[in-house]
Amino acid sequence: MNRVAYGILLIVGIALLIMPMSVPVFKSNAEYSVLNTEWDGVSSFGKLLYSSGEITPLLAPYDSVGLGSLEGTLIVIGPNVDFSTGEIEQLRMFLDKGNILILADDFGTGNQILTGLGVKERFSKSPILSVIYSKNYNFPITVDIRKKELSKGVERIILSKPAAILNAREGIVYTSNASMLGREYGAFPVMVELEYGKGRIILISDPDVFTNSLFKENGVFLQNLISYIPKKTFYIDEAHHRDFNPYSSGSVVIRRSVNKELVFYYVLFVAFVAFIIESGIAMGILERVISLVFKFLGEEKESVDEIIERLEREGFDGDTLKRIVEEIKTGSKIGGGHGR
């Protein structure tokens, strides 16, 4: 083989190690579902999670999946199915172990979790109105991010009919001062971080921040949020979306990162092959293998007795033939040992 052939072998092998692979996925049309690729889904946020760690959708109640025994970050976005007492207890166990809960809700059932866990914070029952907005008053804008890790590179956050977080001592993100909740005016917290046991709870009073429709505007903030979370094993709640219904199978292309160790061993393998071929060792091995194949697969030789028996059937004297064979074996000439 010439050098070009070895080069092609290297290029093809390494390309196979790093080429993208297709993974089957399911879709859903449920609002705030990570499997929903439409405007009201959060599939773009799901891709961010996948690029940062491991993501597992929870499709069954917490007490069925044993949430309390898991490690990582649970993300609950826009729940609209009630939480049972058993689920709340599993969630309490999950947090007591030092894990993290991100609860993004406005007027759904998020308050059931807060009540069950015994924390005083609540999501308001009415939305915040603001004179500073994007498309219309339903999409208020805020730039008041009070944690440096979350504000890096963020020009603004666009909300959609957000609730306020009531009874919060201190928030991380606030609306603008030109906001109104009921008859109250001022800046209202829309993101709060709480300590709970050994774990943490992050409350966000607008699940629409995560949606595909607002991802272009809020993507940098969401990336900062993921980077801020120390536990990169993510569990995203699908069990508490009432309309959750995986309906079709598709595929997503995932690009694999280069495994330097595998590439090294593959290059070493190609070098070994080149040495074997160029040194002639391979040809010797090949010849030996071929000879063994012919030896085992070739026709079996006829024995002397079988030959004599066949000649006897044709009219030859068997004793004479046997004597000739014996003399040949002992090296004697015909007649030399018999006085002829």
Q: How many CB atoms lie within 10 A of CB 84?
A: 14
Confidence of residue 336 (pLDDT cuts 50, 70, 90): very low
Name which residue leads in pLDDT, 69 or 319: 69
pLDDT at 312: 73
Q: What is the mean pLDDT of the chain?
A: 82
pLDDT at 327: 64
Write the CB contacts of 24 (distance below 8 Å, at least 6 apart in sequence): 249, 250, 251
pLDDT value at 99 more than 70: yes
pLDDT value at 31 more than 70: yes
pLDDT value at 9 more than 70: no
CA proximity to 72, closest of 50, 93, 94? 94
pLDDT at 3: 61
pLDDT at 10: 58
pLDDT value at 22 more than 60: no
pLDDT at 205: 97
Confidence of residue 153 (pLDDT cuts 50, 70, 90): very high
> How far apart, in Å, are the Cα atoms of 225 and each of 11, 173, 188, 210?
39, 12, 20, 11
| Cβ pair 79, 207 in contact under 8 A | no
222-281 pLDDT per residue, tens: 999 999 999 999 999 999 998 776 554 444 444 555 556 666 666 666 666 666 666 666
In whole angstroms, what is the distance from residue 123 CA to residue 112 CA? 10
In whole angstroms, what is the distance from residue 219 CA to residue 222 CA? 5
Name which residue leads in pLDDT, 246 or 318: 318
In terms of phi and psi (left: phi > 0; alpha: psi -120 to 50; beta: otherwise), the region of 317 is: beta
Please state the φ and ψ torsions of residue 46, each to the nearest 5 degrees: -60, -40
Confidence of residue 334 (pLDDT cuts 50, 70, 90): very low
Q: Burial-class residue 221 by CB neighbours within 10 Å (0-12, 13-18, 19+).
A: buried
Confidence of residue 335 (pLDDT cuts 50, 70, 90): very low
Domains of the chain: 20-254 (3.40.50)
176-234 pLDDT per residue, tens: 999 999 999 999 999 999 999 999 999 999 999 999 999 999 999 999 999 999 999 99
pLDDT at 29: 84
In whole angstroms, what is the distance from residue 105 CA to residue 292 CA? 75
64-90 pLDDT per residue, tens: 999 999 999 999 999 999 999 999 999
Using a cut of 0.85, tell me whether the model's pTM lies above it: no
In whole angstroms, what is the distance from residue 238 CA to residue 27 CA? 12
> How far apart, in Å, are the Cα atoms of 257 and each of 51, 261, 291?
11, 12, 46
